[in-house]
């Protein structure tokens, strides 16, 4: 499984409920939206996966810790410590403190993530896509800049600006020199099935497959590679994927994302692609692009709908395998 935060975590919860205890699940988490704040290393997607699967997520926000308090955030604001637009909850801060201490002691992000998971017991092997620093930056208009544009960290674009301004481009700083984390390429090569859940294709799945060696591993694995569209009816289910896709000139549709990933038979990443029943009119375009595809309900509104989506995804993988 290649995953961002909320969508991938929800899908993985459903997957855990559909397989037996002997099934080994590896989740490769996006780290390109990681950010350093107040001297702490914050890994939003890894933490959302860990908290969700470990039972510690806030059930309403679906990010951050349950029963969170915000005294540290308020005290930092009282000191005028910037940035004030990204709040770290009191419980959440403990995770970032432990992570930062271990990184400072010389442990890799892979080692740190494994150690953090000892507490949370997520039921999967959670791996960062890379131990190297990679950051997604969004290019926006800026009248004060000589070029008329500037690049800001993805978290600033999403949390501070709420994706309220057009995204002109997305730049992955450090991606060219990044290496897959230990175990990532092997997990893809040895998998029975590889799934791209309904995570943001630009800033969640995009950085993972852009790490040198990971895209190639997807293209060469003997396992079927299937994905679930994060776009339903021409809009993102959650988040800002539609704004980012539009900024990159990609059609904001299930078909647009599927064809952007491409079919493995023609050098792309996928064998199969699930779209929502409301997007059934795009099946022909996707099949013409070489993708095996089906239209099924994609909304993960409760445990049963999520479980059914998982079953449909695994069924498509078996069709692709045949």
pLDDT tens profile 234-291: 999 888 899 999 989 999 999 999 999 999 999 999 999 999 999 999 999 999 999 9
pTM of the model: 0.96
**Domain residue limits, the chain:** 34-128, 135-173, 184-321
Which candidate, 243, 251, 229, 240, places its Cα nearest to that of 299? 229
What would the mean pLDDT of 45-54 be, rounded to a whole number?
98
CATH class belonging to 184-321: alpha beta
Which candidate, 9, 35, 68, places its Cα nearest to that of 197? 9
pLDDT, residue 275, reads 98
Please answer whether residues 87 and 160 qualify as being in contact, where contact means their C-beta atoms are separated by less than 8 angstroms.
no
Can you tell me the distance from the alpha carbon of 108 to that of 159, in angstroms, rounded to the nearest whole number?
27
pLDDT tens digits along 167-206: 999 999 999 999 999 999 999 999 999 999 999 999 999 9
What average pLDDT does the chain have? 96
CB neighbour list of residue 55: distance below 8 Å, 6 or more residues apart: 120
Percentage of the chain surpassing pLDDT 70? 100
**Adjacency order of strands within the sheet including 135-141:** 149-153, 135-141, 169-173
Can you tell me the distance from the alpha carbon of 182 to that of 307, in angstroms, rounded to the nearest whole number?
30
pLDDT, residue 238, reads 84
pLDDT tens digits along 78-110: 999 999 999 999 999 999 999 999 999 999 999
CA 257 vs. chain centroid, Å, equals 15
Indicate if the pLDDT at residue 314 is higher than 90.
Answer: yes
**Higher per-residue pLDDT: 36 or 21:** 36
pLDDT, residue 65, reads 96
Please answer whether residues 189 and 30 qualify as being in contact, where contact means their C-beta atoms are separated by less than 8 angstroms.
no
Please answer whether residues 27 and 316 qualify as being in contact, where contact means their C-beta atoms are separated by less than 8 angstroms.
no
Indicate if the pLDDT at residue 142 is higher than 90.
Answer: yes
pLDDT, residue 240, reads 87
Indicate if the pLDDT at residue 322 is higher than 80.
Answer: no
Indicate if the pLDDT at residue 296 is higher than 80.
Answer: yes
pLDDT, residue 57, reads 96
What would the mean pLDDT of 309-322 be, rounded to a whole number?
96
pLDDT tens digits along 129-139: 999 999 999 99
pLDDT, residue 84, reads 92
Same fold, 34-128 and 184-321: no
CATH class belonging to 34-128: mainly alpha
């Amino acid at each position: 499984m290649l995953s961002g935060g909320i969508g991938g975590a929800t899908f993985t919860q459903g997957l855990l409920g559909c397989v037996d205890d002997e099934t080994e699940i590896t989740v490769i988490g996006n780290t390109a939206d990681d950010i350093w704040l107040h001297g702490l290393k914050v890994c939003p997607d890894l933490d959302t996966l860990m908290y969700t699967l470990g039972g510690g997520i806030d059930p309403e926000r679906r990010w951050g810790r349950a029963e969170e308090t915000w005294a540290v955030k308020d005290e930092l604001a009282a000191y005028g410590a910037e940035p004030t637009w990204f709040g770290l909850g009191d419980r959440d801060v403990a995770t970032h403190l432990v992570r930062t201490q271990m990184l400072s002691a010389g442990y890799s992000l892979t080692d740190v993530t494994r150690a953090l998971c000892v507490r949370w017991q997520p039921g999967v092997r959670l791996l960062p896509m890379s131990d190297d620093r990679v950051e997604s930056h969004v290019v926006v208009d800026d009248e004060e800049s000589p070029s008329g544009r500037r690049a800001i960290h993805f978290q600033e674009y999403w949390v501070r600006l709420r994706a309220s301004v057009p995204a002109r481009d997305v730049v992955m700083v450090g991606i060219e020199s990044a290496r897959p984390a230990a175990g990532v390429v092997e997990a893809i090569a040895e998998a029975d099935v590889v799934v791209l859940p309904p995570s943001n294709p630009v800033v969640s799945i995009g950085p993972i497959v852009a790490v040198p060696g990971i895209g190639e591993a997807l293209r060469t694995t003997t396992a079927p590679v299937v994905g679930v569209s994060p776009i339903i009816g021409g809009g993102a289910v959650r988040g800002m994927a539609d704004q980012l896709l539009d900024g990159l000139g990609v059609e904001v549709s299930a078909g647009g994302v599927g064809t952007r990933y491409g079919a493995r038979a023609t050098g792309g990443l996928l064998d199969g692609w699930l779209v929502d029943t409301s997007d059934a009119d795009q099946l022909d375009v996707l099949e013409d692009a070489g993708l095996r595809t089906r239209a099924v309900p994609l909304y993960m509104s409760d445990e049963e709908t999520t479980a059914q989506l998982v079953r449909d995804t695994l069924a498509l993988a078996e069709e692709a395998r045949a």
